[in-house]
Structure 1
Amino acid sequence: MKKTILLAVAISAFISCKDDKKTEEVTASTTETIAPVSDALAENAVIYEANIRQYSPEGTFNAFTKDIPELKKLGVKVIWLMPIYPISMKNRKATGELSVEDIKDPKEREKYLGSAYAISDYTAINPDYGTKEDFRKLVKTAHENGMYVILDWVANHTGWDHKWITEHPEYYQKNAKGEVTDPLNPETGKSWGWTDVAHLDFSNKELNEAMKNEMLYWVKEENIDGFRCDVADNVPTAFWQKTIPELKKVKPVFMLMESNKNYLLKDGLFDMAYGWEAHHVMNDINKGTKTVKDLDAVFTKIGKEYEKNDFFMNFTSNHDENSWNGTEYERMGDGVEAYTALTYIMPGMPLIYTGQEYDLRRRLKFFEKDSIPKTKAKMFPIYEKLGALKNNNEALNGGKNASSYKRLATSADANILAFEREKGGKKVIYIGNLSKKDQQFTAPIDGTFTNYMTGEKVTLAKDQKHNFKPWQYWVLTN
């Protein structure tokens, strides 16, 4: 193969300089610039969820691609692209409980672009975002910057415009009248409210094969590095057991599931789960309905119910949280920075959602065009600093070969979270007042450390009393 390519280049040199240039471009575009996905990837990675529609005023791949070097500054190693496929126009969501058909004013109707999770074609590109060549440029640029690209995969349902609706109605779940339905609650038989999508029926073997082939297309033809799988536990486990090994035969892939079901992490299926429980407790601590002891209970539960090499994506926000439950500032108040640091220091992989690095303080519209701010303020340098620590200090390894986690008992454990991570002689300690009140406490920490966020030296003694303001935290390194 190598000899053939060299011969082609030599022949083209005799024809014209223009043809020679074309040959060089093709060769460059097909040369891989990044090592295959491996378990080591997850140990010190930061993941970024890219909402292409809302990332820029243009809402295009190209506008996002030019900023990939900015993401590199944040320590990002995995880019998760929200669905990039054409969106079904039929029954598309508008606002509240209304679909686009309920909007009578034509001009008003035009602004409702629908949900990216209502897909009309799994192997095509949403033309609003650009072309397939634009997408390939994004992937190539990410790889050149040491980042992997995973696609959002929605296997549970399609949009109502998908050709399977007419060509393969047997692929879908139906009601008593034989009509294709939107997803229904199996306990009540009532709609979940996702009326813009049609529910697939994985008891059909042909559907399983067709869906597997759609996923294989992106790995084989477009060189992507894995998938984030929407409502993964709503899809039969048997599908993942058949499909994921087939994907890995083509190349190693990284698999993130929107689920925290431990059985889906077994036997080489998914690599990373959602850290829902820790996230919800963080929100509830700010509400005053839970304390740090409830967060301790989550870590204890993980130790009992999950295997040692299972790990989670840690987050203060994502597309669902931001649009439906509120920004991290709404949910976590003044604790945002303390919780952000926690997601980096605790075991797992931290997530940045589009706009968080630019202090986004409003809910992004889900069915309409919107844009994030692009001014660096408080959070960008914080994410930058935490990203560097995560990338470079093996004490924060958080994947299948994670560093140790040791809870440090304090005299105020209901409000003070203190723990240390250690590996290879390196140690990182987190101490945070996760409450709205001043706290005085002692902690069993002895020695001289660097307060990583400020660069100051800190000398501590085991019987020393500490006074922390509300939401004050330290990240200490040896």
Structure 2
Amino acid sequence: MKRAFASSLALLFLLSFAIPAQADTNEKRTWQDETVYFMMVDRFNNLDSTNDQGVNVKDPRAYFGGDLKGITAKLDYIQSMGFTAIRLTPIFQTEPGDYQGKKVTDFYKVDPRFGTLSDLKTLVKEAHKRHMKVILDFVTNHTSSRHPWVNDPAKKDWYHEKWEISDWNNPRQIETGWLNGLPDLAQENPEVKRYLIDAAKWWIKETDIDGYYLDDARYVPKSFWQGFANEVKAVKKDFYLLGGIDSNDPRYIADYEKDGIDGFLDYPFYNEASKVLSNVNQSLAPLYRVWKNNVSYYDHPYLLGTFLDNDRTVRFTRLALENKQNPITRMKLSLAYLFSTPGVPIVYYGTEIVLDGGKAPDNHRLMNFRTDDEVVNYIKKLGELRGQLPSLRRGDFTLLYEKKGMAVFKRTYKGETAVIAINNTNKTQKVHLTNAQLAPGKELRGLLSGDLVRSSKNGYNLISDRETAEIYVLAKKTGLNIPFIAALIAVYVLFGLFLYYAKKRAKRSR
């Protein structure tokens, strides 16, 4: 604990002296500046045992007891890693046994197994105190087969006729078929549309949440989304709509942008990242091509949610293990890329402890807060850098070098230049960057591992250890960094004095 305190102070001093003064961190915060921590409510933290109905942590398909109070209790933990927003799996009342919250039986109630409306309001209020935003999952495509509407003759036309989707390239089938056997809502029915929009607006007014994740968005008619987006965004300024469309075609996904959905889970990014970053000696060029496609097809590519895994995919850790790779090494390298490249990073709970898991429900394992903190501390560094450097959130994105897994990228924003070096190979690599690629006569200050690269007559020579990443800022050349050295000495002197007086006080007490 004491070492962590000293290290944190040292990191703050390092950042304050390493980052050039022209970096502007006072601009109005937008959604592209956020970093999201995504939790499955039932699997995260069980604080309130009074709502433990059907809990059995030995059964992967049963409830594990996680609740809203448990999340509130861990907000400081989440914030300490640099996350500025949280996203929760659905919290509406669902049928018994549905720990994922997707089989809704009441759109206006919190599921009692997760807590109460008051618990949700407290969670949002406490998050806002910490300047963190809250995104809820809002289910619009279907209901539970146990929803009262299903057997109500007056609501017969609220659902599409029962049939399973057979042609996944047929828009009509996708929008009207029953997904996973769940009753499919007829959003083209004005009453259904009105009900869903009113419910969505009610939760915003009642709890002051900041965004919705719209799961299975492509299974709902596009005509619905425009009205939904317009009315929901009228309730709260800067309200964020994040769509979930499980397609690898950016043109297909981007078509929904014109209907008012702000950003989307970037499945093309995920599909490449899960292959490229989970194994060594893989070229990063496919990931850069994903970004170039995003710029071509989206009006707001910086609002796309980038991720390494989620509740529907095999855990990234499992992919690394299947490739016979060290999952901690792979995770750190991958997170460096995720946090420093364009998009809104969305990190699935358990990533920070390198949680393993295969297909669902194995990828919904219980969170463990008593594990090694190596990756936790690495995320803290990345979160700090992303917050300090606007270029990592808003800058353009240029590939300077790529060869068989060794890649160097540049991001610039309002006079600030960041350089990201990713060595995804099993050997130390040397890269030469020319004066045409980077302004001459300066130096690159490494902020993850403290590397320093001074320019020569012909440019910059970077040396990168195997399977590591470094984030640099381009700055004026310096000699010895006297202020930093003095500050660092001061930190450890003060810490030593603190320990001395603490021991002295303890002796007096005895």
Indicate the TM-score class for this superposition, using the shorter chain for normalisation: 0.7 to 0.9
Q: Residue 389 of structure 1 aligns with which residue? A: 385
| Alpha-carbon distance, 1:59 to partner | 0.8
Q: Residue 270 of structure 1 aligns with which residue? A: 261
Would you say how many aligned residue pairs link Structure 1 and Structure 2? 406
Alignment of 1:302 with 2:294, yes or no, is yes
Q: Residue 207 of structure 2 aligns with which residue? A: 222
Give, in whole Å, the separation in 2 of the partners of 1:302 and 1:246. Answer: 27
Q: Superposed, which structure 2 residues align to 1:252-331 within 5 Å?
A: 252=237, 253-259=239-245, 261-266=253-258, 269-285=260-276, 286=278, 291-307=283-299, 311-322=303-314, 327=318, 329-330=320-321
In structure 1, which of residues 380, 383, 399 is the aligned counterpart of residue 376 of structure 2?
A: 380
Q: Residue 165 of structure 1 aligns with which residue? A: 150
Give, in whole Å, the separation in 2 of the partners of 1:363 and 1:56. Answer: 21
Percent identity among equivalent residues? Answer: 20
In structure 2, which of residues 444, 450, 463 is the aligned counterpart of residue 449 of structure 1?
A: 444
Give, in whole Å, the separation in 2 of the partners of 1:361 and 1:70. Answer: 21
Give, in whole Å, the separation in 2 of the partners of 1:125 and 1:327. Answer: 33
In structure 2, which of residues 3, 20, 41 is the aligned counterpart of residue 52 of structure 1?
A: 41
Q: Is the 8 A contact 1:329 1:361 kept in 2?
A: no
Give, in whole Å, the separation in 1 of the partners of 2:399 and 2:321. Answer: 29
Residue deviations 1:297-336 (CA, integer Å, cap 9, x gap): 222222222225653111112111246x874644784432
Residue deviations 1:60-92 (CA, integer Å, cap 9, x gap): 111110111111112222211111122224xxx
Unmatched segments (≥5 aa) in structure 2: 1-26, 47-64, 475-510
Give, in whole Å, the separation in 1 of the partners of 2:404 and 2:446. Answer: 23
Q: Is the 8 A contact 1:159 1:196 kept in 2?
A: no
Give, in whole Å, the separation in 1 of the partners of 2:444 and 2:181. Answer: 54
- Per the alignment, do residues 367 and 206 of structure 1 end up closer, same or farther by CA in structure 2, a change over 3 Å counting? farther
| Alpha-carbon distance, 1:464 to partner | 6.1
Q: Is the 8 A contact 1:282 1:295 kept in 2?
A: yes
| Alpha-carbon distance, 1:426 to partner | 1.8
Query: SS of the residue aligned with 1:143?
Result: helix
Q: Residue 131 of structure 1 aligns with which residue? A: 116
In structure 1, which of residues 396, 406, 413 is the aligned counterpart of residue 403 of structure 2?
A: 413
The one-letter code matched in structure 2 to 1:234 is Y
Q: Is the 8 A contact 2:282 2:424 kept in 1?
A: no
In structure 2, which of residues 64, 68, 75 is the aligned counterpart of residue 61 of structure 1?
A: 68
Q: Residue 74 of structure 1 aligns with which residue? A: 81
- TM-score of the pair, normalised by structure 2: 0.72
Q: Residue 336 of structure 1 aligns with which residue? A: 331
Query: SS of the residue aligned with 2:101?
Result: coil
Q: Is the 8 A contact 2:404 2:425 kept in 1?
A: no
| Alpha-carbon distance, 1:262 to partner | 1.1
Q: Residue 353 of structure 2 aligns with which residue? A: 358
The one-letter code matched in structure 1 to 2:386 is K
- Per the alignment, do residues 129 and 201 of structure 1 end up closer, same or farther by CA in structure 2, a change over 3 Å counting? same
In structure 1, which of residues 337, 345, 348 is the aligned counterpart of residue 343 of structure 2?
A: 348
Residue deviations 1:215-245 (CA, integer Å, cap 9, x gap): 1110122221120000212211211100111
Give, in whole Å, the separation in 2 of the partners of 1:367 and 1:306. Answer: 34
Q: Is the 8 A contact 2:357 2:364 kept in 1?
A: no
- Per the alignment, do residues 353 and 368 of structure 1 end up closer, same or farther by CA in structure 2, a change over 3 Å counting? closer
Give, in whole Å, the separation in 1 of the partners of 2:160 and 2:117. Answer: 32
Q: Is the 8 A contact 2:283 2:405 kept in 1?
A: yes
The one-letter code matched in structure 2 to 1:354 is Y
Q: Which stretch of structure 1 is more off in the superposition, 467-476 or 116-125?
A: 467-476
The one-letter code matched in structure 1 to 2:374 is K
The one-letter code matched in structure 2 to 1:274 is L
Q: Residue 29 of structure 2 aligns with which residue? A: 40
- Per the alignment, do residues 329 and 441 of structure 1 end up closer, same or farther by CA in structure 2, a change over 3 Å counting? same
Query: SS of the residue aligned with 1:298?
Result: helix
Q: Which stretch of structure 1 is more off in the superposition, 285-294 or 79-88?
A: 285-294
| Alpha-carbon distance, 1:256 to partner | 0.8
Alignment of 1:232 with 2:223, yes or no, is no
In structure 1, which of residues 422, 429, 440 is the aligned counterpart of residue 419 of structure 2?
A: 429
The one-letter code matched in structure 1 to 2:379 is Y
- TM-score of the pair, normalised by structure 1: 0.77
Q: Which stretch of structure 1 is more off in the superposition, 341-350 or 450-459?
A: 450-459
Q: Is the 8 A contact 2:399 2:410 kept in 1?
A: yes
Give, in whole Å, the separation in 2 of the partners of 1:339 and 1:249. Answer: 37
Q: Superposed, which structure 2 residues align to 1:106-255 within 5 Å?
A: 113-167=98-152, 168-174=155-161, 180-181=162-163, 185=167, 194-195=179-180, 197-252=182-237, 253-255=239-241
Q: Is the 8 A contact 2:159 2:185 kept in 1?
A: yes
Residue deviations 1:190-232 (CA, integer Å, cap 9, x gap): 9999535222222322211111112111012222112000021
Q: Which stretch of structure 1 is more off in the superposition, 279-288 or 312-321?
A: 279-288
Residue deviations 1:238-295 (CA, integer Å, cap 9, x gap): 111001111122112111111351122236x122221211221122224689632222
